[in-house]
Every structure is written in structure tokens, then in C-alpha cells.
Chains A and B, each alone.
Chain A
Amino acid sequence: KQEVTQIPAALSVPEGENLVLNCSFTDSAIYNLQWFRQDPGKGLTSLLLIQSSQREQTSGRLNASLDKSSGRSTLYIAASQPGDSATYLCAVDQTGANNLFFGTGTRLTIIP
């Protein structure tokens, strides 16, 4: 069974710093990997989706990489801002039919 792990569980950094969030998965047979953010009491917002054939995706200050063979993905956030404070979740799709396996999340706090 696919297991998705995110380390660290929580992270606090001063505003303006660059940071990296990590995601690892046990079964490399995936269709895609997505990064989401979740604000307290809210649903999920999709940040980036990386297809299994891709190595990375970028959106603004966010860059996500995927190394399928080693079962790892990273989310790089440049020049962090207080508005980036949220829980970040990675999820892998193994069936290609929206059956996502989610990680446990990293709670990120940006200190002004």
C-alpha cells in the first residue's frame, strides 16, 4: 500500500527566507504528484501538479520537483511571506482516476 510521508511535521521560518518542504512515497508507480495548501478550517487549494514524466513545475515563487525513482518530491518556496503560513500537503495519484494518497502534511509558519 502506498505510504506518503512529509518531514518535517512543522516548520517556522522568518519572513523572506527560502525554504524546502519534503515529501516521500513508497511506491514509485504513480501517475502524478500534487502539492496542496490548506488553511485552518478550509478546504484544499491546489498549488502544483507534476505528471510522472515531468521533473519539476513552477508557479510564481513555488517550485516543485519530482524524483520518481527515489520516491521523493520537494516544494521550494522562495522569499517566504506571512501569507504562506498554512499546512502543505503532498498527494500521489496511483490509479490515474483521482484516488489520491495524501501525506500527513507540514504546518508552515512564517514569522513576520
Chain B
Amino acid sequence: KAGVTQTPRYLIKTRGQQVTLSCSPISGHRSVSWYQQTPGQGLQFLFEYFSETQRNKGNFPGRFSGRQFSNSRSEMNVSTLELGDSALYLCASSFVGLRQETQYFGPGTRLLVL
């Protein structure tokens, strides 16, 4: 069974631009979560989607948004990029997102904002 895939793996953008990252969960998984990892703040939860609905949201500004499609694939969008948005963005999937489930992480998308 294929793991969680994320595209693109690397991305370079300039301040003010917007970016869209994609995540394909493991087949059969319907819950997708997104995390941001930076050297200063560590890993922080962005949001979680289940059945095309956002169920949970972390403490990030509205410039960060996401969506989930009927096939459970998810995208996250960051508008008006800032230098501080440079990070590794990780997505994770699980069957239904219940507490006894393990989350499976993708390799991440490394975003550099210049």
C-alpha cells in the first residue's frame, strides 16, 4: 500500500506570492492533518479535514487555508507569503481520525520564501 505522498517536495517563492501544496493520503484514509515545522517553533498543527470538512484548526492566521476533496486528497494554500512561512509542511493521514489511530506522515514539502 502506498504511503502518504506530498507534492511538490521543494518549492521556492517570493514574498507576497501564494502557494498551494498537495497531499494524497493512504488509500482508505479519510482524515488528513497538516503541520508546519520550523527550527524556531517546532511542529505546529495547522488544520485537520475529514470527509471534506475542516474539523479542527490550529492557531494560524487566515492566510493559511485548506480543503479536502471527495477522494480525500487535500490541499493547503498560503496567500501573501511572508519570510516566516519558510518551513517544512507535513501532512498526515489516518482512517477516521479517532484517538486510538496512528497518524501516518508524508515526506513533507519544503517551502522557501525569499
- Which A residues form the contact surface with B (CB < 8 A)? 31-32, 34, 36, 41-46, 49, 51, 89, 91, 93, 95-105
Contacts and interface: CB of A to CB of B under 8 A. Distances in A.
Query: By CB atoms of chain B within 10 A, which of A34, A44, A51, A93 has the most?
Result: A44
Interface of B: 4, 31, 33, 35, 42-45, 48, 55-56, 58, 90, 92, 94, 97-108, 110
B103 A98 contact: yes
17 contacts: A31-B99, A32-B99, A32-B100, A42-B107, A43-B90, A43-B108, A51-B99, A96-B98, A96-B99, A97-B48, A97-B56, A98-B33, A98-B97, A100-B43, A100-B45, A102-B35, A102-B42
Nearest to B55: A97
Nearest to A43: B105
A43 B107 contact: yes
Q: Which are the 10 A-B pairs with shortest beta-carbon distances? A: A102-B43, A96-B99, A31-B99, A43-B105, A44-B105, A43-B107, A98-B97, A46-B102, A99-B56, A98-B33
